[in-house]
Structure 1
Amino acid sequence: MDNFHKYILDIYKNSKFKNIIDNLYNKALMLGIIGSEMEGRAIAAIHEHEQIIESLEKKDKESFVTAIEDNVINGYVNLTGNYKK
């Protein structure tokens, strides 16, 4: 797991969620799925991470949750090609 995601997970000391994310990350790597290799995803992820950081700096919980959700959903869609609510 890269440092950005590890830092975000470590802040909240939620070991169960961190274990789930670690597991998903490891499975994605084992399958050879690297999201940032998809066209435009790396730049989009950087912008999403900037939104997360800005929300943290402003201590804006609603904006932070929205930014995290957007990043997770966009990453999932990028890796799987689908999303269903």
Structure 2
Amino acid sequence: MAELKQVLSPTGEVWATAPDETWNLRGECWPEPGILVEACWSKRFQDPPKYQFAAVSLKKVDARGMSEWANEWGQTLCFNPDFWRPLPNC
């Protein structure tokens, strides 16, 4: 079984944990720009975690590794997702 991805604070504290092992942590692995993927945001420090989901696409990654994402209508997101995975096949 694969290990669940986690978002860590600058001091190493666990901020968010992926819902299951099918999710990628942003920054460790990037989707192809412009391809819609399923995104997940986790509320920080909640036990049990609460999640929100949306279809988004990666717009770009700059030289510092900072990412910019857009919703399915092309609008830039205010917050980057914590985790992402390919959209399930319909």
Q: Compute the TM-score of the two structures, normalised by the length of structure 2.
A: 0.26
By percentage of residues, which structure has more helix?
1
Higher relative contact order (CA 8 A, sep 6+): 2
By percentage of residues, which structure has more strand?
2
